[in-house]
Amino acid sequence: MKVVKFGGSSLASGEQLEKVYGIVTSDPERKFVVVSAPGKRSSEDIKVTDLLIACAEKRINGEDLSNELKMLIDRYGSIATELNLPADVIKQIEADFLQVIDGDRSNKERYLDAVKASGEDNNAKLIAAYFQVMGTKATYVNPKDAGLFVSDEPGNAQVLPESYDQLYKLRDIEGIVIFPGFFGFTKDGHIATFSRSGSDITGSILANGIKVNVYENFTDVDAVFSVNPTIVSNPKEIKELTYREMRELSYAGFSVFHDEALIPAFRAGIPVNVRNTNNPSAPGTFIVNDRENSNGPVTGIASDKGFCSIYISKYLMNRELGFGRKLLQILEENEISYEHIPSGIDDITVILRENQMDEEKEANIVARIYGELQADKVEVEHGLSLLMIVGEGMRHNVGTTARASQALAEAGVNIEMINQGSSEVSMMFGIKAVHEKKAVQALYNAFFVGAVTV
């Protein structure tokens, strides 16, 4: 048995849904279908989830949302028309959207999550109706009825472990199960969504709970490429990579698969197969536990912008008990989490996501580090990108750092920091965001051009 997840790009139009139907019904193992909300039909298009967020924000602010609402209903309406679905399908969807958008706004975060989740929920209902019209037995299943329980963290929910046993019972449903991705229910019955692009997480949770053989994740590319194809044209495809490699690469910018979606599949030892809805005969990429290391030290190169660093220097920092704890406490009290902490004898750098900082917090943090930690120097640097080179082979390979830093130097990219730290499979470079593209290209040329990828 397989769980198959289709992303927004695979569900953006009636034409795409016809492909989805063909893919699901061509393999009797494809019983559990997890769906996102309709995504972009072209690069200028708007994802349904973004339309829903705009509707919710306008409703909260008491602004006119008729434009967004019309675009939203038209998206589902045009799909239903393309597929010749009965008129009551779209009527019910429209009624549901109106009800959810007019719903209880006393808790803004919960309200926003309920509105966001309605995109996948209504899409699952529409797709189940379409499969039925086509003569295939298919049932829409609500995550609450299925027992997909999550923590009460709106927009960032985590699955509760007891969900897995509940989800195993989905096996008992006859025919195909159509399951909305992206959200679950808290123990007290509220909707809570995963972080953005979180339908991948739902697919992985179902794969674990149902104990399927494979989790197929259908998207709009033939494979996971060794580098983001929007940065380097025609990059090498990766046929096979490990969970650890993929987790690092997803975390660092490979948006093709959500980094939090690796753990449930990994824990149950279920391979993930990333495939293309627009080219289903391509074998795609397999994410597995172990693989043969025949492709050199580096499997992939990822990059992500939106970071800043706090550099702190203090003579004899290494001798001072509790310096790190006090520093992190200052960040914690400003509700800031960190990503990396490279350090030296007399200095330490904390790297964090820039969107957590504002001018007020920055001033408070800097003043406290000077005042409470008696630092000699504190400098905050904005506009950083992190580059991550990832590969299981790096452990056994001498000279990877030298090769990477030489490539960056030749491209005129200054390395602000290196973290070769604890992860055995990755190495991180901090650079100025303006240099991100040429840095990624330079690293790709150094490790892949002329090399053979497995």
**Residue 385 sits in the site that holds ligand ADP (CB under 6 A):** no
Q: Is 25 annotated as a binding residue?
A: no
- List the one residue from 14, 155, 229, 280 that touches ligand ADP (CB under 6 A): 229
**Residue 323 sits in the site that holds ligand ADP (CB under 6 A):** no
Query: Residue 85, Cβ neighbours under 10 Å: how many?
Result: 20
Q: How far apart are CA 33 and CA 247, in angstroms?
A: 23
Q: How far apart are CA 237 and CA 224, in angstroms?
A: 6
Within 18-37, which residues bind ligand ADP (CB under 6 A)?
36
Residue 81's identity, in one-letter code, is T
Output the six-digit token pair for 420. 């070769």
**Strand bridging mode 300-313 / 347-353:** antiparallel
Q: Judge contact between 442 and 408, C-beta under 8 A.
A: yes
**Residue 9 sits in the site that holds ligand ADP (CB under 6 A):** yes
**Residue 203 sits in the site that holds ligand PHD (CB under 6 A):** no
Contacted entry of ligand PHD, ligand ADP, none for residue 256, CB cut-off 5 to 8 Å set by kind = ligand ADP
Q: In a 10 Å sphere around its CB, with 0-12 CB exposed, 13-18 middle and 19+ buried, how is residue 190 labelled?
A: middle
Output the six-digit token pair for 273. 């197969």
Closest to ligand ADP by CB, 197 vs 385, is: 197
Q: How far apart are CA 454 and CA 223, in angstroms?
A: 12
**Residue 209 sits in the site that holds ligand PHD (CB under 6 A):** no
- List the one residue from 49, 163, 228, 426 that touches ligand ADP (CB under 6 A): 228
CB-based contacts of 266, cutoff 8 Å, min separation 6: 243, 289
Least distance (Å) between residue 41 CB and ligand ADP: 11
Start-end of H helices in 190-345: 199-210, 243-251, 262-267, 323-333
**Residue 122 sits in the site that holds ligand PHD (CB under 6 A):** no
Within 156-195, which residues bind ligand PHD (CB under 6 A)?
181-182
Using CB under 6 A as the criterion, what x/- string covers residues 8-27 for binding ligand PHD? x-------------------
Stretch that binds ligand ADP, among 50-58, 203-211, 221-229, 367-375 (CB under 6 A): 221-229
Kindly list the residues in this chain that would bind ligand PHD in the complex (CB under 6 A). 7-8, 36-37, 39, 47, 49, 119, 181-182, 196-200
Binding site listing for substrate: 49, 120
